């Protein structure tokens, strides 16, 4: 933390690309999003440069045709370590490993399938349910082995870089403790978890004590999550019927990696963690303006077409007139309304937010259920759960966002950086591809983002 990172980037692809730095608070023109940076053309170079203001596990990936470029492997982890004084010795001295969780969809020849191939039914399924790979990877390898010592605590810094797959990770016979997430450490460890769930784009910082006899092995499993997958039938008359995938949430466990116990053992029986890891200030929403964003899709068509929408528009259709506005330093509450029968992992570029509550309403607008705020943490991802009823019912995730610069950035820094999240005297007639300081938000199921579920917020100085 505190270092300046300089990345000399050359695009050796035969198509344009960028690097988006997922989760980092940085100047808009360093964020790699198409609303603030023109894509880097084949053979061209670009220098990303920004200060690392916060400690956490972040990651990076292209923000041009992400569903194809990320699927083919362009994703990596970026670990920004805490200053020594900011992290308890027992955590700092625990051996940590980064686990990049991914899956790829391979054809019979072992090659990555091109995006959206197959019959119209298959194409619709990939667009609606996302592209789920048939091969799971940890750090780019299938079923890798990690050597551990029984009784010696380990710390895993995990990130889910898969296009679509929700990663629920379980270590049989072991309880997990989550100490951090997207935005660094939690306030208090969350203990006794049977598994840890990472939606696409999300991170988790977990600890546990592996237990086993030397020479034996323990398989770590992927477990399914109910997320509103659908079935599709195209009738002879061209009608498309969307139903529920009856296996949703009950797909069989898949082995993810192998732990092998080394000789010898340590004596830790319990993780001795401090109760208080750090202080996180709740965002003050007493004067917050509210914005509502509705996540939906068009009717699926027999030719395989479906579009995913935010406030009724695809990413290509949305203009600066549609984009919500904010002022630097302003706090807003966003109501993220999921009108669909599937989950959407929501991601906002460049700012952390805090989840306030989730409200389920029926088709007449009556409140069915309110899920209170989860333990306080700063995140850049939140899953928008599927509505809990027929068309017209909705789920609403309320989040609080403070559009402030990262801690430690002064007004001078902002100016030197060319504006932190700022469109200074923006000429909006330039449109969204101009030198705008807009920040994108989108569904991190990359097939949904690619078929339209992406928009942006303009933050003004």
Q: What backbone phi and psi angles, to 5 degrees, belong to 9? A: -110, 130
Task: State how far the Cα of 294 lies from the Cα of 361, in Å rounded to an integer.
Answer: 14
Q: How far is the CB of 152 from Cu ion (least distance, A)?
A: 40
Could you give the C-alpha distances from 142 to 14, 172, 307, 383, 401, in angstroms and in order?
Answer: 28, 19, 33, 27, 38
* Residue with smaller CB distance to Cu ion, 178 or 349: 349
Q: How far is the CB of 445 from Cu ion (least distance, A)?
A: 4
Choices 21-29, 283-291, 414-422, 438-446 (CB under 5 A): range interacting with Cu ion: 438-446
Q: How far is the CB of 210 from Cu ion (least distance, A)?
A: 35
Residues 188-207 that bind Cu ion (CB under 5 A): none
Cα first-last separation, the chain:
26
Assigned token pair, 216: 């034996």
Residue 448, interface with Cu ion (CB under 5 A)? yes
* Residue with smaller CB distance to Cu ion, 67 or 378: 67
* Residue with smaller CB distance to Cu ion, 398 or 448: 448
CB neighbour list of residue 440: distance below 8 Å, 6 or more residues apart: 33, 34, 35, 63, 349, 454, 455, 456
User: Over the Cα atoms of the chain, what is R_g?
Assistant: 22
Q: How far is the CB of 382 from Cu ion (least distance, A)?
A: 12
Choices 171-179, 226-234, 312-320, 437-445 (CB under 5 A): range interacting with Cu ion: 437-445
Residue 443, interface with Cu ion (CB under 5 A)? yes
* Residue with smaller CB distance to Cu ion, 149 or 448: 448
Give the one residue of 123, 283, 445, 457 binding Cu ion; rule: CB under 5 A: 445
- Classify strands 331-338 and 289-297 as parallel, antiparallel or unpaired: parallel
* Residue with smaller CB distance to Cu ion, 25 or 307: 307
# residues contacting Cu ion (CB under 5 A) = 4
Query: Are the beta carbons of 385 and 248 closer than 8 angstroms?
Result: no
Residues 315-374 that bind Cu ion (CB under 5 A): 344
Q: How far is the CB of 345 from Cu ion (least distance, A)?
A: 7
Query: Are the beta carbons of 422 and 25 closer than 8 angstroms?
Result: no
> For residue 132, which of 456, 445, 450, 459 has the smallest C-alpha distance?
445
Edge-to-edge strand list for the sheet holding 20-22: 20-22, 56-61, 76-80
Q: How far is the CB of 444 from Cu ion (least distance, A)?
A: 7
* Residue with smaller CB distance to Cu ion, 100 or 443: 443
Q: How far is the CB of 353 from Cu ion (least distance, A)?
A: 18
Residue 442, interface with Cu ion (CB under 5 A)? no
Helices (H), 353-439: 411-416
* Residue with smaller CB distance to Cu ion, 203 or 344: 344
Choices 154-162, 186-194, 391-399, 436-444 (CB under 5 A): range interacting with Cu ion: 436-444
> For residue 254, which of 154, 131, 168, 140 has the smallest C-alpha distance?
168
Q: How far is the CB of 443 from Cu ion (least distance, A)?
A: 3
Q: What backbone phi and psi angles, to 5 degrees, belong to 28? A: -55, -40
| Kind and range of the H or E run holding 89 | helix 89-92
Binding-site ranges for Cu ion (CB under 5 A): 344, 443, 445, 448
């Amino acid at each position: 933390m505190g270092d300046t990172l300089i990345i000399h980037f050359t695009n050796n692809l035969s198509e344009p690309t960028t690097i988006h730095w997922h989760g980092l608070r940085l100047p808009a023109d360093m964020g790699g999003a198409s609303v603030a940076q023109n894509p880097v053309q084949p053979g061209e170079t670009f220098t990303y440069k920004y200060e690392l203001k916060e400690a956490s596990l972040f990651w990076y990936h292209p923000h041009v045709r992400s569903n194809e470029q990320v699927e083919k492997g362009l994703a990596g982890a970026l670990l920004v370590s805490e200053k020594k004084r900011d992290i308890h010795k027992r955590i700092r001295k625990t051996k940590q490993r980064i686990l990049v969780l991914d899956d790829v969809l391979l054809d019979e020849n072992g090659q990555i399938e091109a995006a959206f191939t197959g019959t119209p039914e298959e194409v619709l399924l990939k667009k609606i349910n996302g592209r789920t790979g048939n091969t799971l990877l940890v750090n780019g390898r299938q079923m890798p082995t990690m050597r551990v010592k029984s009784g010696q605590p380990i710390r895993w810094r995990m990130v889910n870089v898969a296009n679509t797959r929700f990663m629920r990770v379980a270590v049989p016979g072991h309880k997990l403790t989550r100490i951090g997430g997207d935005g660094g450490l939690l306030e208090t460890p969350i203990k006794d978890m049977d598994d840890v769930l990472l939606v696409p784009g999300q991170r988790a910082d977990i600890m546990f004590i592996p237990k086993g006899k030397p020479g034996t092995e323990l398989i770590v499993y992927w477990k399914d999550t109910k997320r509103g997958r659908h079935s599709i039938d195209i009738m002879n008359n061209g009608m498309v019927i969307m139903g529920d995938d009856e296996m949703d949430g009950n797909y069989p466990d898949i082995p993810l990696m192998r732990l092998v116990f080394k000789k010898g053992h340590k004596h830790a029986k319990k993780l001795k963690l401090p109760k208080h890891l750090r202080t996180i200030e709740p965002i003050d929403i007493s004067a917050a303006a509210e914005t509502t964003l509705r996540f939906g899709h068009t009717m699926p068509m027999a030719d395989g077409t479906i579009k995913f929408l935010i406030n009724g528009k695809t990413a290509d259709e949305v203009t600066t007139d549609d984009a919500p506005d904010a002022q630097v330093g302003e706090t807003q509450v966003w109501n993220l309304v999921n009108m669909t029968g599937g989950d959407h992992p929501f991601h906002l570029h460049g700012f952390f937010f805090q989840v306030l509550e989730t409200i389920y309403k029926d088709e007449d607008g009556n409140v069915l259920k309110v899920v209170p705020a989860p333990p306080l943490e700063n995140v850049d991802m939140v899953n928008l759960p599927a509505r809990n009823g027929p068309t017209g019912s909705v789920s609403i995730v309320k989040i609080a966002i403070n559009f402030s610069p990262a801690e430690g950035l002064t007004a001078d820094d902002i100016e030197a950086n060319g504006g932190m999240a700022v469109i200074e005297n923006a000429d909006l007639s330039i449109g969204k591809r101009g030198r705008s300081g807009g920040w994108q938000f989108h569904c991190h199921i990359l097939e949904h983002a690619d078929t339209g579920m992406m928009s942006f917020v303009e933050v003004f100085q």
